[in-house]
Every structure is written in C-alpha cells, then in structure tokens.
Structure 1
Amino acid sequence: MSSYLPDKTYVVCTNQLGIEYKQLTLSKDRSAKTVQLGSQQRVFLVILDKNLTEDFTCKSGWSSGAGTAAVGAGVITGLVVAAAVASVPVIGWVVGGLIAVGCLAYGIWQMMQSPTCSQMIGYEESKWINHHQTVRLDSSNVSLKDKHLAIVKNSMLKCKEPGGMLLPFISETSAKEAAEAIGYNNRRELATNAAAGFLTGFLAGASLGGAGAATGVGFLGMTAPTISVLGTTASFLGWTAAGHYVINPYVFSPATSWTSENIAQIEGTTDSYSTIKNEANSKPDGQQWNSIPDPAANNDTLQTLYGVRKNMIENGASKQQIAEINNAISQAQKAGTYKASEVPAVKAVFENIREGKYGQAAKDIFTNKSGNGTGMNREANYAKTSNVKQENIKANNQENIKNLKSAGALIIAPFISSYFGNEALRLGAQIYDQDAANSIKVVASNH
C-alpha cells in the first residue's frame, strides 16, 4: 500500500510570482485511465502526466530583468536630478543615455523571455523525481512502460530551464499556504532587485551629471568633464561586473543559502529543503551549478554569530536535565518507590526542581496549594516535567529561528534579494513536509 497522487492534485511552483496554486491534470498522450480514486473517479498520475490546469507566472526573467531595467531608469533619473542643479556635459548625457537605453532594452528583453509552464515542463528534460520505482499504472497496452511509473506523495516535478520545482499537495489548505509563502518571497526578491538596480543607476547617473563641475584640461587633451565621465563609467561597469560575476555568486549567494540551510536544520526540514534547493540549482543532467558550503563545517561560526546551540541548552531547556529526570524515573521504577530518601537519583532531581534549577514551570508542577513540595513527589509529575522540558526546547528552537533570521538579515542586507529567493525554497519545503501527514492510499499492482 502506498500514497499515490490522483488527477487534480494541488501544486505550487518554487519560481511562481503569483500567490495562487494550480492543479495537475492528465497528459493528452495518456490512453488508459482505469486506475482511479474510488467513487471520485480521479485517475492516478504517472510520470507521463505533466500538465497543469493553467500556467504559473514564472519569476525567471522577470526578477533579473526588472533589476536591469531599473538600473536604466535610475541612470536617467540621476542625470535629470543632476541637470536641475548644475550643467551636465554633453558626454555625460551621451554615455548616460547609452547605459540607460542599453539597460532598459536588455531588461525588457529579459522579462519577455519568461517561459510558460506549458512550454517548459513539456520537454523531456523536465522530469518527475522521487517517483515509484516499480509500480506502474495503466501500462498493460503501452510500449514505453516506464512512462507509467506511479507518482507518489514525495514526488516533485523539476522544470527544464528556469530552475523551478513543482511541489504537489494533497491538502488544499497547505497548497494555499505554500503558494502564498513562495509567491510573496519571490515578489520581494523581484522588488529588492528593482530597488537595488534603481539606486545603483541613480548614483551612476548623478555622478555622470556631476562631471560638469570639473574644470581644466586633462590627459591627452581631454577635458576634465570627459575624464570624469569616463572614470565614473569605468568604475560603474567594473563594480557592476564584480558584483554580478564574483561577489554575488561566490559570497552572498552561498552565505544566504547557508543561512537558510541552518534554519531548515533547526526546524527539522533539512531533507526536503536540500532536495528542492539542489534540484532547482542543477542542470537537467543533475550536475550542480555551484557547490554550497557545508553547514556542518561551520558549527563554530554558527555558535559565534547566533548562539543557536548554546541557547538550546539554556533558559530551562536542557536536554541534560531531561536525561536526569528520565534516569530518576528509571531508578525509581527499579527500586519500586519514588521516596527521595530511598532513591538518590530521585532525591537529587526533586531537590533541583524545588530549588528552581530546572525552571519555574518545573517547580510549579512540584508545588502544592500550600506552596511547598509535600506530597508532590509522584511519578506523574516527573513525566509531566519531562514533557514540559521538551516543549521548552521546541519553543526555544522557534525563538532561535527568529533570532537567526534577524541576525542573517543584517549580514545579507546588501543582497537581500538572494535571501528572499532562498526563503521561498525553504518555506515551500517546510509546508511540503507538513503536508506529508496527509495521504490518499490505494492498493495497486505492477503491470
């Protein structure tokens, strides 16, 4: 018995800009449709099925294109502002105009290249991963039987080029939550790209316009304004190239990816997040574009920056204390009594709890209405205290996650769009994991 996915299963895309979910439908090449979900008459999906009820709006092209076009708009604005307070040299208008027109044209072209889902997932390179390896549905009378391997709950559809992953959801509520989390973060990525591009262009335009303030004759007979414009242009192009080809891919992107990886690790969603992230950043043949720093190799940094591990052991959420409580229970059960006078382990734990060393919540459990511990040394109270400590750890983890996000945001603020892109993947993986508890089961046989 396995958890298979039927026609009209809800689906979201890690690259979507909208906040709506879609549904998966059967391929037009699917001939037999006999294996169905009971009275609902919903046919179960196989890897041949890669159709959607409607396309998503893909961030691929839009995000980078908006940033590029915004640079052009910023250059024009910077020149206009400069012209309002000083005389802009002709060469400033010429060079600035060329940069602005080039950025606007290229940015618009990038945005127009955003593919549709119907185009991309129809390619052979767009494939289901984590599908069933042996069970085939409706494959009796077809030649390519492997195209009828069953789609299961943890399957994902990898898009050929833009790097998007289609994540199926059984729960409509989970699909809605995931679509909103992913869509909003991808929109933030686009918006911050555009804002950063505009600011970059504005500063460059204002500098080009301010060249008119320079005076005198410079190198090779060129005027000072000309030299100023050429110098500003060279600096602008140099730093833009360095940021795009060096700083972002080799510094900020790995840093933001590492941050999201550690958040996922704390939340316990590492497996799903890693799978989605690695597949989204890999070529169709499965080779990785870039290697990601190993979080396990940065434990000292993690502790130094965020104190995650340290905080898990403090503030009344110590695993050692839980172990002490469990040991006391075990020793009491062996002795057949919870009398502190007869079981040293029970006496030590009881005294620590009453002294407040395990936190106020634990002390309250062992305190009676008279305000003392008389008659409270009972088995049920030890078990209750252990459970409270476990809940404290969970709550502490959530607080650590918030702190981790805040600290991480300060570090990656200059390239915060990368952070939003990673957040879209991580939140999608988190909700995808939560949806794993839902299932549609059917007994199927191999054909």
Structure 2
Amino acid sequence: MTSVSFKYWDDCVDPLDLDLMWSDPDVKAEWLNVGETKGSKVHLSRDPDGQPYLTQTEMKAVAGIIVRRHFVSQIDSDMLCAIAEIESDRQPLATRYHKKSKEVTVGVMQISPKTAEWLIRDQGNRTYELDVESKVLYKPFVNVYFAASYLKWLSNFDQIERSEEFMIRAYRGGTKKATHKSTLPYWKKYLSVRESLPSRKIFGVGSVPNAPSASSSSGPGSPMKGPIKTTWDTRTSPEDMEQMWNNPNVNKEWNKSGEKQGKVRFSHDVERRPYLSRVELKAVAEIILGRHFSTKGVKPIVLCAIAEMVCMRFVNGIGQRTGLMGIDYPTARWLYKDLGYRSYEVESVEDLTKPFVSMYFGAAYMAWLSEYNGRERTPEYVVQAYLSGPQNVNLQETGPLWFKFQETLSRYEDNRKYG
C-alpha cells in the first residue's frame, strides 16, 4: 500500500460523521478548548514524532457512533477502544508487517486489507468499500467498522456463542490461538487497559445522545446515515408500508400514537433500541406469509414467537443474531442466491435490519428446514433447528427450547392479549 497522510479530521472522515463528532459534548469541549472552530478544518493531534493520533475522547466517539449505527447490542464500544489502545496507540496511520503471515495490518484497529475484503465479500459488511490500494482502510471510521464486523463474526464463531476472552484472544492470534498460552498475555493486557479507560458517559452502547430535529426523516435523535434511521419508512418499501397501514390493528395502533404517513416511528426501549410491537410483528408476518409462503402452511404466530425468542423483536437484532428474525447474512445470501428466494434483495448485512427483509428470509429458512435432507419435518424439529441449527437437534436434549417456544406462542394465540 502506498503512503497516506492525514493532517486534519476533514481528510479522513465524511462531513456527516464530522458533524456527529461535533455533536458529542465531550469532543466538542475538547476541540473548542484547543482552539478548533466548527466550520473550519479540525486538526488531528500529533505525538512527538509528528504522527497523528486520536485522543481517547475522539476514539470513544468514533467507536460509539459505529456501534450505534451498525452493531447495537452486538459489540461493546469499550472493547473497540481498548483494542485500539493496545494495537496502535490510536494512530490512524499505524502499520505493522507480520512476518509469519506476510500480511500488513493498518489503522487504529490494525485490520488487514485481506480481512476487510473477506468481510465485504463473504460476510456482507458493505457499508464501506475498499479502494484499489486499500488506502481508505486508514480512515478511523472505516477501520473501526471492519474491526467491529470481525469481532461480531468472532462472537459466533462456528455457530457457538463466544466469550469476550475468546473474541479478544482470537482477534490477536486467530481462532486457532484463542485458547493458546501465546494469547493469554494479550488478554490480560486488554483487561488492564479496558479498566483504565475513561468512564463511559454518552457513548455506552445503551446511551444515544438526542439531537431532535423536526425536519429529520430519521426520527428523534438520529441524524446518522444508513440503518441508524429509526422510522419504518426508511427501512420499508412504499408497497409494504401501504399494507401495514391497511392492517386494521396496525392502523389503530399507529393512529393512537400519533404516527403520520411517511414518518412512522419505531418504538424504542430505554436503551434507545428500536423494536416492533406485537401488533406490528404479527402484521409483518401475515403480509410476508400471505404474499410469498401461502402454500407452506406456516402460521404467522409461529414466526412471531421465533422473533420474540431469538431477538426480542428488536429491529437490529440482539447479540450475534442480526435483524428481527436473527438470520445471518451468509444464510440469507445462500437462500437468495442458491435457493431462489429473491422477492427481497439482500446485498449487505444491513439489509437484514429491515423488518420485512428479515421476516422474509426467516420464513424462507423455516420452509427449507421443514424439508431438511429431503424429509418432511415436524414443527418441533423445525423450531429447534431454527433456534440451534439443524445439525444440533436432539429432541430430548433441546426439549426446553420447544417448551419455551410454546410458552411464547401462547402470547400470540389469545387475540385479546394480542389486541
């Protein structure tokens, strides 16, 4: 890769992201204190050798914005900050050559172009594309995005929910060295660094700063681009929105909460995570099944119960599961490309944060499971295979999942409760 040089924040960040940096009170106070003015170029800090670096305040802001935009409830922004401390001292132009792998890692999180390319190609993390010489990878927001994408993949490596220790040690030495003694010192150093980070105020995963704007199409406190937009209309086609408005229960609920056509807000929990009400969830399931799976015999309330169990109805998903139905990008892409489920496009992992897209591929996956290995499967098998993987189904050992599913299903079977 050729040499890269940044003198100002403006050289390595989009204008919208720079505005978000200014909107953080800690960053704003720090910048004003050293004589920066909004509207003029913002200088990057320099170490004694003249190398640019991010202050801890700036790093926390970048990590927080990336997490809220793409990885809410999936990655902890403090994890990113601690790794940046160890890997590069928060230097965006840092590079390191690894003799064993013959790879170069770059940026605040020390990501290799090869890893970034793999995340784009195979994991659907396409918010940022790499240029020919991968110079864009030096930009802090881009670098942190790919690091977070990689950590999210590590969190569910081999379809097993992994610990923070596994993720950190694998980040350093690869998945084969995650339990090897060679990565233990790195884990201990990480714990020490993380403990010494400035206390989380505004950029904890659960705290989204509000910047209300009456004209914002993305709802209260969400001036960010991409999936951070928290209105139904930004993540749903006009045709699907029309179907939602035509549903009498949804229409009643939306009118009661003062929603307007073109600006329907998602509900949010106390941590500002968007979620669907049970009325909305059932409507989405009914529309998807009625339009695309009417011959499969799946009931809407079955999909609702799955969504409730897997991701608690959160639009972005929860933990390592993406979207409403917890379908990951490789699975959705396989259903789309190889099995012909193409009523909705899935070109990136963020497409799966759209309720109708996630519901569609969730239903498609259930349809595939219902005939797994060419055999007609029981509902109990399909549910357990969806929740734990078809290769892990043991009707005796995973019985509790089925009982929990039945309990969850009962919330939707009683129409009075549903209403």
Q: TM-score, normalised by structure 2?
A: 0.24
Which structure dedicates a bigger proportion of its chain to helix? Answer: 1
Give the structure-1-normalised TM-score. 0.23
Please say which structure displays the higher CA radius of gyration: 1
Q: Which structure has the higher relative contact order (CA within 8 Å, separation 6+)? A: 1
